[in-house]
Amino acid sequence: MNESEPKPSQAEMIRLAEVDSGIVVSSYHSYKRGFSVVLAGLMLIPGIPIILFLVLLVKLTSKGPGIFTQVRVGKNGKPFLMYKIRTMRVDAEAGTGAVWATKKDPRTTLLGRILRRLHLDEFPQLFNVIRGDMALVGPRPERPEFVEMLGQKIKGYSVRLLVVPGVTGYAQLNLPADRDLDDVRRKLSLDSEYIEGASLWFDFRLILGTVCRLFKYAHKTPLQCLGIYQKAETSPWAKYFQVSSANDATSQAVDCRL
């Protein structure tokens, strides 16, 4: 695209990605909200005391608020505030701008490392589910800075914005955190597979798989037993997103500093 030409809007990019990919969104996405809200409400009964306790711990062990809010991109490119228990220093991006978190991120507090390892920092997102910003299951929401950058670098990236993002997801259970563009492509292949094949039974199994992950039973055996284990390389969407082998030494690193 010529630099003098105006950039397409987020809505245009989503529409172009939908047409180009030929993806067919499962009808389940149009009525899954009821299931998500009811289950999120039930989870908040024991969850609210846990959240309050964790917020207190965070405030006692580091400077700053206990709840951290961050703008993420939801369905149809609509931005929303996502809630998390704060796990990093309040000035974590002061010198770098927006960057992806790493496995042993030095910006993470001691308590934050524990919360991240146990995924307890995600609990407040149940309120996002109640609000309608998120569902329990779906593609994980990304930050606007990364959505714009990745949308320019990866063909079809915007298909993930056709549905409501989730607290957990098919890609998140099967794949590690993103480190480069090939990792993003792998996640996109499984996100697209979920967008087309979503159902109540699929969501139920993914939630059970997430429970296994919370209790640190994280290897592939429970996912295989539940029928939700998938390698990105064998996904029906692998060719479209040009997924390479996870061991391919030519994986293209991405600079997330914007």
Q: Is residue 82 a part of any domain in this protein?
A: yes
Q: Is residue 42 a part of any domain in this protein?
A: yes
pLDDT at 106: 76
Residues 6+ apart with CB under 8 A from 71: 79, 80, 81, 82, 143, 144
Give the Å distances, CA to CA, from 216 to 20, 211, 219.
Answer: 39, 9, 9
CA 50 to chain centre: 22
Nearest to 228 by CA among 193, 255, 258: 193
DSSP 29: G
| Residue 189 predicted with pLDDT over 70 | yes
pLDDT at 46: 94
Evaluate whether 77 touches 15 at the Cβ level (below 8 Å). Answer: no
SS3 252: coil
| Residue 130 predicted with pLDDT over 50 | yes
pLDDT at 92: 64
Residue-level length of the chain: 258
| Residue 243 predicted with pLDDT over 70 | yes
Q: Is residue 2 a part of any domain in this protein?
A: no
pLDDT band at 96 (very low <50, low <70, confident <90, very high): low
Model's pTM, two decimal places?
Answer: 0.87
Tell me the residue range of the domain where 151 lies: 10-234
β-bridge partners, 135 = 166
- Per residue in 139-154, pLDDT (tens digit) is 999 999 999 999 999 9
Instruction: Specify the number of domains making up the chain.
Output: 1
| pLDDT over 70, % of the chain | 86
Q: Is residue 200 a part of any domain in this protein?
A: yes
- Per residue in 13-66, pLDDT (tens digit) is 899 898 999 999 999 999 999 999 999 999 999 999 999 999 999 999 988 899
pLDDT band at 221 (very low <50, low <70, confident <90, very high): confident
Q: Where would I find the H helices in the chain?
A: 10-21, 33-61, 110-118, 125-131, 144-153, 170-174, 181-197, 200-214, 220-226
Q: Is residue 142 a part of any domain in this protein?
A: yes
- Per residue in 161-181, pLDDT (tens digit) is 999 999 999 999 999 888 889
| pLDDT over 90, % of the chain | 65
Read off the tokens for 245.
């082998």
Q: Is residue 258 a part of any domain in this protein?
A: no
pLDDT at 222: 87
pLDDT band at 116 (very low <50, low <70, confident <90, very high): confident
Q: Is residue 252 a part of any domain in this protein?
A: no
Q: What are phi and psi of 68, to 5 degrees?
A: -110, 130
| Residue 121 predicted with pLDDT over 50 | yes
Q: Is 201 left (phi over 0), alpha (psi -120 to 50) or beta?
A: alpha
